[in-house]
Structure 1
Amino acid sequence: MPMLIITLMLFLMTTPCSAAEMTVGKFSTEDLSGWNDKPFKGKTTYELAKNDEKNVLKAHSVKAASGLIKKLSVDSKKFPILRWSWKIEHTLKKEDIKTKKGDDFAARVYVVFPRTFFWRMRAINYVWAAKMPKDSFAPSPYTSNSIIVAVESGDEKVGTWVSEERNIYEDYKKMFGEEPPLLGGIAILTDTDNTQDEVTAYYGDIFLQGP
């Protein structure tokens, strides 16, 4: 999706936040306030749904790519820990991080760091991969300003809920070699436009918290 990073950057505006723990997405209470749909190629369907007797966000993609974006303005040094949970039905076998045609994942959570000019913005793209080794990372085939991190990999945990936690402040410094600007937004993306596949994923609540 060559327009993905540009679209995320142009969408984000400043919205101050402060708390010991910050709720980014509270899907368990059927709350989608502040989340906005942004199409890139076709449309992934996002809807609140029941799964394993709890309220979650369901994403279903058929040869399409669109995301949900939540605008923020957060100092990641004060709120470095990103926590979320997710579940997928299967990984995408045509995934290939080295090519644009293979740049699809069953589930992604983006953290976006805007700058004055969109070509200087940075993003970390946490994914559930099919082939990338777990905890490995690589630049997006579209831009080196977006780093893809395989938080989960393979089908071993497919069909089960998995809880994740990442230190986005430390990840940013490791991957870009500099102090991060303000976190400008978080996006959810389930996409199959490049691989021409179909997949369903589920997302639980998303939080930022202090060290």
Structure 2
Amino acid sequence: MHRHAFLLLPTLLFAGACAAQTYTPADISQWPERRFSEPTHYQLEQRGDSAMLRADCSNGQASARYLEQQIDLRKTPVLRWSWTISAPLTGLNERQRDGDDYPVRLYVVKDGGLLAWRTLAVNYVWSSSQPVGSHWPNAYTANAQMLAVSSGAPTGMTTLERNVREDFQRLHGQTLDLIDGLAIMTDCDNSGQPVTGWYGSIEWLPVTSSSTDR
């Protein structure tokens, strides 16, 4: 299944860039869906005192929830989110096409406009086989770079922060002022292994003295 990250965003004109922004699980549940196979089942679920977006994947499902919105990385380059999974997938080589499945992943996309081949993406992933900090080109296109920010067995909800502007510079060699959208996806269409992921809120934040890549 060819799942190019840049296919998540059609060519659009945007009205303007957004400042600091928070998307709750309820917000994310209303984002448009993009299917690459049978749809992943996304639903809100209460976990303790927090509402989460639960993503159940089985029988070769793969679909994303995506948001088309410009973000000014000069003002809010820091992306913060939380997630967890039921268990990692087993026996996958995520650097190959038949292993391109992730219990949870978060895309950040720079749209190439009319020049679709210039669209770039960073995929923050919970890797089932690669260590935290490792990165590699997506098995279908080098325009999407994968970055393992979580790995292996879950230990409860994990909160992460990444400086997206710095990650695009490091992984794509480009310093971007704006990005054009983001998406979440839980997919198992290559492995066929059932898995569940949970997503908390996603936030765009300015750099502060406490902002670190965790």
Match of 1:4 in 2: 4
User: What code does the residue aligned with 1:165 have?
Assistant: E
Match of 1:22 in 2: 21
Give SS of 2:27's match.
Answer: coil
Q: Does 1:210 align with 2:206?
A: yes
Match of 1:196 in 2: 192
Alignment of 1:86-101 (within 5 A): 86-101=83-98
Match of 1:66 in 2: 63
Match of 1:105 in 2: 102
User: What code does the residue aligned with 1:136 have?
Assistant: S
For normalisation by structure 1, the TM-score amounts to 0.91
Match of 1:134 in 2: 132
Contact 1:22 1:208 in 2 (8 A): yes
Give SS of 2:10's match.
Answer: helix
CA offsets 1:81-121 (integer angstroms, 9 cap, x no match)? 00000010001113212210000010000001111221110
Q: Does 1:174 align with 2:173?
A: no
Q: How big is the shift at 1:37?
A: 1.0
Greater Cα shift, 109-118 or 199-208: 109-118
Candidates 65, 70, 75, aligned match of 2:72:
75
Where does the alignment leave 5 or more consecutive residues of structure 1 unmatched? none
In 1: Cα distance, 2:91 partner to 2:13 partner: 35
User: What code does the residue aligned with 1:129 have?
Assistant: S
Greater Cα shift, 182-191 or 91-100: 91-100
Match of 2:182 in 1: 186
Contact 1:59 1:202 in 2 (8 A): yes
Q: Evaluate the alpha carbon distance shift between residue 206 and residue 12 of structure 1 in structure 2; reply closer, same or farther with a 3 A threshold.
A: farther
In 1: Cα distance, 2:199 partner to 2:29 partner: 15
For normalisation by structure 2, the TM-score amounts to 0.89
Give SS of 2:191's match.
Answer: coil
Percent of counterpart pairs with the same letter? Answer: 34
Match of 1:148 in 2: 146
In 1: Cα distance, 2:118 partner to 2:186 partner: 25
User: What code does the residue aligned with 2:151 have?
Assistant: S
Q: How big is the shift at 1:181?
A: 5.5
Q: Evaluate the alpha carbon distance shift between residue 177 and residue 6 of structure 1 in structure 2; reply closer, same or farther with a 3 A threshold.
A: closer
Candidates 23, 43, 49, aligned match of 1:47:
43
User: What code does the residue aligned with 2:138 have?
Assistant: S
Across the aligned residues of Structure 1 and Structure 2, the Cα RMSD in angstroms comes to 1.7
Where does the alignment leave 5 or more consecutive residues of structure 2 unmatched? 208-214
Q: How big is the shift at 1:15?
A: 4.7
In 1: Cα distance, 2:13 partner to 2:162 partner: 24
Moved over 4 A (4+): none
Q: Evaluate the alpha carbon distance shift between residue 130 and residue 67 of structure 1 in structure 2; reply closer, same or farther with a 3 A threshold.
A: same
User: What code does the residue aligned with 1:76 have?
Assistant: L
Q: How big is the shift at 1:75?
A: 1.9
CA offsets 1:159-185 (integer angstroms, 9 cap, x no match)? 510000000000000111122252111
